[in-house]
Amino acid sequence: MDFTTPSGQNPIDRLKIVGRPVTRIDGPLKVTGTAPYAYERHDVIPNQAYGYVVGATIAKGRIVRIDTGAAKAASGVIGVITTLEYKPAAPPQRQTANLFGGAEVAHYHQAVALVVAKTFEEARAAAHLVKVDYQAAPGKYDLAGEASGAKPSADPNEGQDAEIFDRVGDFDAAFAAAPVKLDETYTTPCETHAMMEPHASIAAWNGDKLTVWTSSQMINWAKAGLAKTLGIPAENVRVQSPFIGGGFGGKLYLRADALLAALGAKAVGQPVKVTLQRPLIINNGTHRSATIQRIRLGAAPDGRLTTIGHVSVSGNLPGGMPEPAVGQTKLLYAAPNREIYLKLAALDLGEANDMRAPGEAPGLMALEMAMDEMAEKLGIDPVEFRILNDTQTDPRDPQRRFSERHLVECLRTGADRFGWSRRNGTPGAIRDGKWIVGMGMAAGLRLNLLMPSAARIRLDRDGRLTVETDMTDIGTGAYTILAQTAAEMMGVPVEAVTVILGDSASPVSAGSGGQWGANTSTSGLYAACLKLRGAVSARLGLNAEDAEFADGKVRSGNRSIPLAEAAKDGPLTGEDGIRFGDLDKRYVQASFAAQFAEVGVDSFTGEVRVRRMLAVVDAGRVLNPVTARSQVIGAMTMGVGAALMEALAIDMRHGCFVNHDLGGYEVPVHADIPHQDVIFLDHPDAISSPMKAKGIGEIGLCGVAAAVANAVYNATGVRVRDYPITLEKHLAKLPRIA
Amino acid sequence: MNTPDWELSRREFVVGAAASSVIVATPFLGPAHAAGGTPPHAAVPMMKVTMEVNGSPRSVTLDPRTSLLDTLREHLRLTGTKKGCDHGHCGACTVLVNGTRINACLSLAVMHEGDKVTTVEGIGTPDALHPMQAAFIKHDGFQCGYCTPGQICSAVAVLKEIEKGVPSHVTEDLAAPMRLSNPELRERMSGNICRCGAYSNIAAAITEVAGA
Amino acid sequence: MIPFTYEKADSPAAAVAAVTATPGAKFIAGGTNLLDLMKFQIETPTHLVDIRDLPLTTINDTGDGGLRIGALVTNTELASHPRVKRDYGVLSRAIVAGATGQIRNKASVGGNLLQRNRCPYFYNTDLPCNKRVPGSGCSALGGISRSLAVIGTSESCIAQNPGDMAVALTVLDAMVETIDAAGRTRTIAIADFFRLPGDTPETEFALQPGELITSVTLPPPLGGTHHYHKVRDRASYAFAIVSVAAVLNKDGTGRVAFGSVAPKPWRIKAAEAVLPAGPAAVVSTAFKEAKPREDNAFKILLAERTLALVIAKGSA
């Protein structure tokens, strides 16, 4: 179906099942270890050999030769393939780095060989015997050093042809004239997804047909990517990912595990399974680029912003895209004079690409700290300052309204529920034993992106429904909300629905990315359900227009027939998808959040520990409050990491991320995370989709780190503009110990 | 990072790299290699190991290098126990050995002859959930599910460790009886990383089971 | 991990004989650090002698009021022992500040003493490291060194000893008992057990090849209040940036050692002597010879402030 006008009343609005706190239908599998992840598919194909990846030990240069003699002679080795035996793989769409093939090394730990052996132990040992000679070349690894030469670059969210500069009014004159102003630079570091399941794939060939069991957020992108890199028709590729152990953007794209498993399986003539060993993932895969962001705010003494300037520099491999860290600044606050744009520097670190809330996450780390600073300069409460500068229209185009925007309600509700009135605006005023206690808040905005999504639903003789779509559940709850959608549309309990995900043989979905998955995949299923309802009505001789599907029955006029009756002569299928028109052009569609945090800073050591957190989220209709809440608390946890500990440390001599494992790259543990509260506002968005939902998976991260950072400032009085806020950045400036 | 010292060292490295441009990979492995020692790649003698896994005796003949984790996952095909890092940095591989939780990735299978190993599959099944598993579902104590088996094995063990008087980093009084509190629970569970960030819900699940 | 053969030993004498008989052999107990390093081929034993059946698993009174701790006692068992909790609180607290419940359940006392350093360059076999390959160079010099040592270093190595338990054992004046290849036993004071890198950073411990730790003894209890404070970025499951182990007396005297600041637990008697004068005096004495890097110089201030915290708690 084409979705071109705002949705009216529809069967979802009954909210008998959608919107209810249904526990995950895949929960019993996950808690018992019986949900199968990519590397665990012993059942799918016999005779799987083990591949182990060899990564480049230099960051830039050429491979002179590779000696595989010792590796091939080692116990258990079936075969070794090297990058020199293949032409460089053409990067799939939206990707930059060459995954394998050719002599050029473009980044550290780029895959240069795969050793295939009978056992994992033999493959790992033999991988250490592959000898590679390199001709190293100097590279560029320091974003700060390259920033002055960075080039203005279009926002990838707006397309390559989009206007680079968002300029409204006369920024320079207005900023110069602003009675109160701020001009500060904020930095965010490179970050890594650190999902718990490493990239993993099993590949098997049957003639020229390839099947890959992998861990991918986007089945169709994996399929297309494999076809392109292998130079085979897409219809010859089958990809399956029923369970994915986290992704956060790191598994949006084809990675070396899948490509090398396929190449290795071809070379040795048997199925091959490959996981990227954890210490390889960070440099071999993609990461979120560091940013250097200059923000200039000007305001009238009453607190109304007159100017907003935001320029963000990020880095990537030549040909890559920038981290779109200014997107939210274009939309979050009103101000008549604006200058906002991105710059991109070429670096020779690994590929920078999407990580959860790409752009908004680091962008809000800067913008919302600047807003906190500006509120203090103006002597206005930070919550009130944001409310004062709210906008209901696109600041670039006053005719373009937001579909639904309830940021002010988020802010007011949050302030009330968090006890914001107890905050003391003077830093360092609140003590609790050795702890200095501070409160902080931030606003968040994340675009509601829309992607076409298709599904198929089948009604069987026994009345059961089976949903098939190549949608993935990366922990988001997709299995459950799709079951709820089918159950609501067809008038059956959730238990009557089977959901089959992550198979490229199924209709192509939106996949899991950009927080579009829940809204668009359920909308695609909604369209398929309408088709099935039509087929059921026709089979039963009912009027599809007024047929009501409820309680396992179909009612029309004075007739009421069990749904299963429709399939008594054979299954009925409905297949369709949702295709979005231009409602996202005519309206700004976005989710909103207000984030609140209270921290304690150890007055002796400077350690920061989070004490309380609250998010108030405006994301349209909440399809399932259980899984939606989990998305938000998980994002809040990631935000604590971004604020306080997460940073890839770059060795500027060797061009590598030094802390390339889960020991060196610290993410929050249980002890770091207090109880978290989440409040969802109830504002269904009929302009977004027939489900009236919007994205939740990323808005939960937007503003979190700034809220924590602002709380740290409120505790210490030391403004650290360089994330993460580790203790040495404020230790020397903390109050003297009595 | 832009100190004069640093700039100097970078220039030196770049010049150095260009001057002696051929670098041989992996010359920095451990002593046997550095000494050009034992040719390490002859077939190794296999070893038979017998363990009791989830209540059943299991015998398997293994390369001695095989970790307990890979023995479970690759040989016994008990894939509920997860490999998140293989280096003791995440806790996804947590299993119970003779009732005590350990990281299966940091243990050789040959060191577990005669041991009783309990994996998540031995804690409960989809049709017969352990109360901890049921509580994880009820409180949504997971998202992607990959760390979940390790979290559940740890959670079950943590309650026993408190009973046995094992202290933790946040225990105020070492001499007093151990009690489960929210800070105790969070500290003791900290060896199980959840990147999806289900911690708050996991704490709710464990608290419910502990109170029952 | 290179191939190796494996055997179990049933007595300390048999264990040392087995390791001595096979070039490239190593003892294994908990294995939590050794196996990690073997996976990277940083450690490359060709033969493993499993010592877990040795009768070194008990904690006994020494007769003079002290304790003898078998080398195979797990970290959890040691931290949970009633006498350790009562009389050697600094040790119990240091142990539970380290690693995780899972690792402490497996790691042995002897193995904990022998854990290698956590310099990120030691762990990266693509880059030079004098500990891993003597003479290859130190990548940490001029590299990322925030976590590394600020004192006791040399031009060949700036790695820190990352342990927690060892810092507590250092303030307690523990003794390490060993047996060597010839069956001789000896006792090494904890202060002499860890070596500074000098020109031979590859040798981290005062053990001879084939020498086995059999036990660790603690002198009679010191009394006083016991403290172990560990500072780190995240609240748990992380190595210390700085830690302080202290036993403090009411009169302001006491003992103090610092962790994660040096290649060994850093206890300077002259610094300890000025404890009554306060943390600044202690730290300025203890770190007089410090040669920090730009990115870890903060550790000295942090050590002072952490000691101030410990003293504040001790006098509370």
DSSP C91: H
**Residue in this structure with the two tokens 């000098």, named with its chain if needed:** C198
* Residues of chain B contacting residue C2, judged by C-beta atoms under 8 Å apart: 32, 38, 40-41
> Residue type for A247, please?
G
Q: In the structure, what pLDDT confidence band is assigned to residue B36 with cuts at 50, 70 and 90?
A: very low
* Residues of chain C contacting residue B165, judged by C-beta atoms under 8 Å apart: 80
| Model pLDDT, residue C111 | 98
C139 exposed, middle or buried (CB, 10 Å; 0-12, 13-18, 19+)? buried
**How many Cβ pairs within 8 Å bridge chains B and C?**
160
| Model pLDDT, residue A107 | 98
- Which position among A197, A376, A488, A698 bears the catalytic label? A698
Q: In the structure, what pLDDT confidence band is assigned to residue B27 with cuts at 50, 70 and 90?
A: low
CB contact under 8 A, A28 and B83: no
CATH number of A2-35+450-585: 3.30.365.10
Homologous superfamily of the C225-315 domain (CATH): CO dehydrogenase flavoprotein, C-terminal domain (3.30.390.50)
Q: B136 to chain A, minimum CA–CA distance in Å?
A: 7
A482, A471 in Cβ contact below 8 A? yes
> How far apart, in whole angstroms, are the C-alpha atoms of residue A711 and residue A611?
11
| Model pLDDT, residue A115 | 98
In chain C, the residue whose alpha carbon lies closest to the alpha carbon of A664 is C120
In chain A, the residue whose alpha carbon lies closest to the alpha carbon of C309 is A604
In chain C, the residue whose alpha carbon lies closest to the alpha carbon of A674 is C235
Domains of chain B by start residue, with CATH: 47-123 (3.10.20.30), 131-211 (1.10.150.120)
Average pLDDT over residues C107-131: 97
C164, C259 in Cβ contact below 8 A? yes
C165 exposed, middle or buried (CB, 10 Å; 0-12, 13-18, 19+)? buried
| Model pLDDT, residue B17 | 39
B110, B62 in Cβ contact below 8 A? yes
Domain boundaries, given as residue ranges, for chain A? 2-35+450-585, 38-138+193-283
Q: Is C99 on the interface with B (CB under 8 A)?
A: yes
CB contact under 8 A, A30 and B142: yes
> How far apart, in whole angstroms, are the C-alpha atoms of residue A300 and residue A304?
5
* Residues of chain C contacting residue A128, judged by C-beta atoms under 8 Å apart: 2, 41
| Model pLDDT, residue B18 | 38
> How far apart, in whole angstroms, are the C-alpha atoms of residue A577 and residue A531?
10
The fold of the C5-53 domain, in CATH, is 3.30.43
> How far apart, in whole angstroms, are the C-alpha atoms of residue A485 and residue A508?
18
Q: How far from A368 is each of A186, A362, A373, A385, A572, CA to CA, in Å?
A: 11, 10, 9, 11, 52
Which of helix, strand or coil describes residue C215? strand
Q: Is C3 on the interface with B (CB under 8 A)?
A: yes
In chain B, the residue whose alpha carbon lies closest to the alpha carbon of C28 is B111
pTM of the model: 0.97
In chain C, the residue whose alpha carbon lies closest to the alpha carbon of B193 is C237
Q: Is C238 on the interface with B (CB under 8 A)?
A: no
| Model pLDDT, residue B44 | 75
Q: In the structure, what pLDDT confidence band is assigned to residue B30 with cuts at 50, 70 and 90?
A: low
> Residue type for B113, please?
E
Using CB atoms, which chains have 3+ pairs under 8 A with B?
A, C
Buried-state track A518-555, b at ≥16 Cβ within 10 A, e below 16: bbbbbbbbbbbbbbbbbbbbebbebeeeebebbeebbb
**How many Cβ pairs within 8 Å bridge chains A and C?**
95
CB contact under 8 A, C237 and B191: yes
* Residues of chain A contacting residue C259, judged by C-beta atoms under 8 Å apart: none
Q: Identify whether A724 is preceded by a cis peptide bond (ω within 30 of 0).
A: yes
| Model pLDDT, residue A738 | 55
**Is residue B37's pLDDT more than 70?**
no
| Model pLDDT, residue B22 | 57
CB contact under 8 A, B89 and A475: no
CA-based nearest residue to A352, from A403, A282, A409, A288? A288
**Is residue B10's pLDDT more than 60?**
no
| Model pLDDT, residue B42 | 67
Partner-chain residue, chosen from B25, B125, B144, that has the shortest CB–CB distance to A244: B144
> Among residues 283-302 of chain C, which lie with CB inside 8 Å of chain B?
294
CB contact under 8 A, A278 and B187: no
**Is residue B6's pLDDT more than 80?**
no
Residue A293: strand pairing partners: A186, A312
The fold of the A38-138+193-283 domain, in CATH, is Aldehyde Oxidoreductase; domain 4 (3.30.365)
* Residues of chain A contacting residue B152, judged by C-beta atoms under 8 Å apart: 31
| Model pLDDT, residue C93 | 98
Q: B181 to chain A, minimum CA–CA distance in Å?
A: 12
Q: Give A645's Cβ-side CA count (13 Å radius).
A: 27
**Is residue B34's pLDDT more than 90?**
no
| Model pLDDT, residue C269 | 97
Catalytic site includes residue A698:
yes
pLDDT along chain A (738 residues), means of 10: 98 98 98 98 98 98 97 97 96 96 98 98 97 97 97 88 94 98 98 98 98 98 98 98 98 98 98 98 98 98 98 97 97 98 98 98 98 98 98 96 98 98 97 97 98 98 98 98 98 98 98 97 98 98 94 96 97 98 97 98 98 98 98 98 98 98 98 97 98 98 98 98 98 83
> How far apart, in whole angstroms, are the C-alpha atoms of residue B38 and residue B158?
43
Domain boundaries, given as residue ranges, for chain C? 5-53, 225-315
